[in-house]
Structure 1
Amino acid sequence: MARDGADPQARILEAARTEFAAYGLAGGRIDRIAKRASASKERLYAYYSNKERLFLEVLELNLREFASDAVLTDHDVPAFAGALFDHAVLHGDHLRMIDWARLESDGTWRPALEVMLGYRDEQVRRIRLAQEAGRVDAAWDPVELMTLIFGIASAWVHEPGASPAPGGIPDPAAMAGRRTNVIRAVERLIAPCAIRPIN
């Protein structure tokens, strides 16, 4: 249930996050969201004209939080990969929302997508700076490298056998090992002596 003391709109957004991450846009139910938020459907529709508008609001909120949570700093790309992994583990619902948007949207999620593209472009710029500083193999195209790093960092979340059951608690030792492997993989990927990518 939503947290006591939060204003109705905040409760609705929080409840919608849970609902849409689990069921997507098509499967999400406004009545369940309203019940979880301890709000009436009429109050919900006063804030959001329809279910899709609420879905897009949640998606954009998630992406903005992600964009502020995992940022490449000090040319430290492996640490950046570790931060991406941490976010994927702690906020798997964010990745699920992106997946749902890709599957169900007809293109109306563009404003939220632009948040993600802006984030990506900024990290690509920072990767270029890390290349100029000699911290990353200059043979990589920064855009392609960013995609590979994101894929490595989020691999455990998308691998069915590695994810805990819904509501389950990840094993701390397993998570620490996977995080270490993510960082090591990225270290090898960006090392100047790494095998050059095929053009």
Structure 2
Amino acid sequence: IRDGISYVNRDMCTGCGKCVEVCPRDLIMLLPESQKVFILCSSHDKGAVVRKICQVGCIGCRRCLRACAYDAIEFEGNLARIIVDKCTNCGACAQVCPTGAIVDLAPRHAKVEIDPGMCDGCGACKEICPAGAISGDLGDKHEVDATKCLGCGACISACPKGAIAYVGNRKTGAAAQAGADDVA
């Protein structure tokens, strides 16, 4: 425990789950090692109360809920909870969290680019982008602002033409999303 928050030493953890069983406040849970985005503080208290006891407590603002393009966040009272089966580790929720309650340990993927020869200007990518990194009018070619792009791949999955790919990776559409972890 550091500063009132339980931490697990990953080098010593065997994944046995005993800490989960014995925690009297039900504050510890096991997550798959592949889960890189998670919530640090498990307090269910309201904003002002949680901030008094935990510097990284969730204040229930729901910004993460609005930022998640995958419906991978739900709220239990005032506390955000990441639905691991739906989470893609894109980090959009952590990017907007004002308290740092959501941590993103995933190495960021490469940025994306839109092939202007394939883009039909449908706007599906712009609509789903959690960072607002895609611009363009309906029917016109769209562009990505690399300074805003999170590299989450939401636009790649949404593009019906397969016109979006990670920079340096010519795979597009579902193939690019499946291989996203291979991109540096």
Question: Could you state the TM-score of these two structures normalised by the residue count of structure 1?
Answer: 0.24
| Larger strand fraction of residues | 2
| Larger helix fraction of residues | 1
Q: Which of structures 1 and 2 has the larger relative contact order (alpha carbons within 8 angstroms, sep 6+)?
A: 1
